[in-house]
Amino acid sequence: MSMPLIETRHLKKYFDTPRGLLHAVDDVNLTIPKGKTLGVVGESGCGKSTFGRVVLRLLEATSGEVLYNGENILTYSREQMLKMRQKMQIIFQDPYASLNPRMTVSEIIAEPIRVCKTITGNDAIMEKVDELMQIVGLADRFVNTYPHELDGGRRQRIGIARALALNPEFIVCDEPVSALDVSIQAQVLNLLMDLQEERGLTYMFVTHNLSVVKHISDEIAVMYLGQCVERCSSDELFENPLHPYTRALLSAIPEPSLEARNKKQEVIRGEVTSPVNPKPGCRFAARCPYAKPECMEKDLEFKEVSPGHFVACVLHG
């Protein structure tokens, strides 16, 4: 097996809160091969966004390793990290909050270049900005406009252009289409996929939208309360979901077709509890219809039950 571009080993991020230690990311082991997309799915509060930020070192991990081409970037010095940042970028969920309202489109896109000084000279930078705008499908006439004058789809394109400005290899997409209307959402998804094909980008696609994640991902990891409960190829996950939580998630998606209308849904009870000072054992056990006493006894192992299909559940393996 070739070396993955990104690998996390026992990655943990705990937050100190007044109520106790919040286990936002708890021992997550994932790999992303070069040029592929890993989808990270889960509900709000499952730690998926935190995970993305810890991988990029926008947040410092509590413990564990993030390997980039086999090197642990968590031990990198400030200077090494600065270089590294050019290779890894992030696209945000909220195209409203992620763009500085006081800067024009061209200034926003040029900012990473100016900071990292990958290109010098005003004209050369503006040329690069023009090129980037064309790549993401933004017309020239928006050069001097401010983000608030544009709609969500165009703003998200600015965010993408900014992320591409440094020619990164790896991009964390944090819910990049959740705030957009369906038709615009599809335009942006197509753009992201085209860019991946053209530039061999590696994506980590964080989202709660299962139909989007299926569409764009090669592999999917399902997270629940800071832990990864299931991981396998995208097709396998939808055909043969093993973890009860994954199954519940899949059955909860309202399908836009009539066949599903009268199908009895597996509505799971209860809500996500908080990951503050979690008890040992399976974190989903409280809501799980198949929970057994042994689920609560000790932390479950993340086992490979069939080639490439990992799951953490006593029912399997």
Partner 1 sequence: MAEKEIKAPKAKVKKRSQLKSIWFRFRKNKLAMFGLILFLALVIMAVSASVFLDYDTDVIGQHMKERLQFPSSAHWFGTDQYGRDVFARIIWGSRISLVVGLFTVGIAMTVGGAIGAVSGYYGGKADMILMRIMDVFLALPGTILAVAIVGALGPGLVNVLLAMSICRIPQFARIVRSSVISLRGQEFVEAAKACGTSDFRIIMRHIMPNAIGPLVVQATLNMATTILGVAGLSFIGLGIEAPMPEWGSMLSEAREQMRYYPYLMVIPGIFIMLAVLSLNLIGDGLRDALDPRMKN
Partner 2 sequence: MEERLLTIKDLYVEYITDDARVFAVNGIDLAINKGETLGLVGETGAGKTTTALSIMRLLPEKVGLIKSGSIVLNGKDVTKASEADMRLLRGETVSMIFQDPMTSLNPVLTVGDQIAEVLELHKRHKNKADVEARVDEILKMVGLPPERKHDFPHQFSGGMKQRIVIAIALACEPLLLLADEPTTALDVTIQAQVLALMNELKQNLNTAMILITHDLGVVAQTCDRVAIMYAGEVIETGTVEQIFSGDEHHPYTVGLFESIPDLKKKTRRLHPIDGLMPDPTDLPTGCKFHTRCPHCMEICKTELPKPIEKDGHLIRCHLLEGGGRKAEGSETL
> Is residue 193 close enough to count as binding partner 1 by CB under 8 A?
no
Q: Which is nearer to partner 1, 197 or 259 (CB)?
A: 197
Q: Which does 43 bind (CB under 5 to 8 A by kind): partner 1, partner 2, none?
A: partner 2
- d(C-alpha 89, C-alpha 265), whole Å: 39
The pair phi, psi for residue 283, each rounded to 5°, is -75, -15
Q: What is the DSSP letter of 50?
A: H
Planar angle of CA 202, 300, 270, nearest 5 degrees: 85
- d(C-alpha 59, C-alpha 50), whole Å: 8
Q: Which does 99 bind (CB under 5 to 8 A by kind): partner 1, partner 2, none?
A: partner 1
Q: Which is nearer to partner 1, 179 or 222 (CB)?
A: 179
Q: Which does 193 bind (CB under 5 to 8 A by kind): partner 2, partner 1, none?
A: partner 2
User: Given strand 20-32, what is the order of strands in its sheet?
Assistant: 20-32, 6-17, 63-68, 71-72
Work out the burial of residue 28: count CB atoms within 10 Å of its CB; fewer than 13 is exposed, 13-18 middle, 19 or more buried: buried
Is the CB of residue 166 less than 8 Å from the CB of residue 9?
no
> Is residue 141 close enough to count as binding partner 1 by CB under 8 A?
yes
* Smallest distance from partner 2 to CB 88, Å: 25
> Is residue 67 close enough to count as binding partner 1 by CB under 8 A?
no
Q: Which is nearer to partner 1, 98 or 217 (CB)?
A: 98
Residue 137, SS3 per DSSP: coil
Q: Which is nearer to partner 1, 187 or 274 (CB)?
A: 187
Instruction: Write each residue from 158 to 187 as x if it is in contact with partner 1 (CB under 8 A), else as -, in one continuous string.
Output: -x--x--xx--------------------x
Out of 70, 77, 102, 198, the only residue in the binding site for partner 1 (CB under 8 A) is: 102
What residues contact residue 85 under an 8 Å CB cut-off, 6+ apart? 116, 166
- d(C-alpha 308, C-alpha 317), whole Å: 13
Q: Which does 138 bind (CB under 5 to 8 A by kind): partner 1, partner 2, none?
A: partner 1
User: In angstroms, how far is CA 21 from the centroid of its own chain?
Assistant: 23
Q: Which does 261 bind (CB under 5 to 8 A by kind): partner 2, partner 1, none?
A: partner 2
> Is residue 134 close enough to count as binding partner 1 by CB under 8 A?
yes
Total residues binding partner 1 (CB under 8 A): 44
Which residues are at the interface with partner 2 (CB under 8 A)? 43-44, 151-154, 181-187, 189-190, 193, 208, 210-212, 214-216, 235, 238, 248-249, 251-258, 260-261, 265, 267-268, 271-272
- d(C-alpha 199, C-alpha 205), whole Å: 17
> Is residue 82 close enough to count as binding partner 1 by CB under 8 A?
yes
Q: Which does 153 bind (CB under 5 to 8 A by kind): partner 2, partner 1, none?
A: partner 2
Is the CB of residue 213 less than 8 Å from the CB of residue 38?
no
Residue 225, SS3 per DSSP: coil
Q: Which does 89 bind (CB under 5 to 8 A by kind): partner 1, partner 2, none?
A: partner 1
What is the footprint of partner 1 within residues 274-313 (CB under 8 A)?
A: none
Out of 92, 205, 245, 302, the only residue in the binding site for partner 1 (CB under 8 A) is: 92
Q: For the chain, report the end-to-end CA distance as a whole number of angstroms.
A: 24
> Is residue 238 close enough to count as binding partner 1 by CB under 8 A?
no
* Smallest distance from partner 2 to CB 37, Å: 12
Q: What residues form DSSP beta bridges with 9?
A: 65
> Is residue 13 close enough to count as binding partner 1 by CB under 8 A?
no
Q: What are the Cα distances from residue 50, in Å, to 81, 106, 254?
A: 19, 29, 27
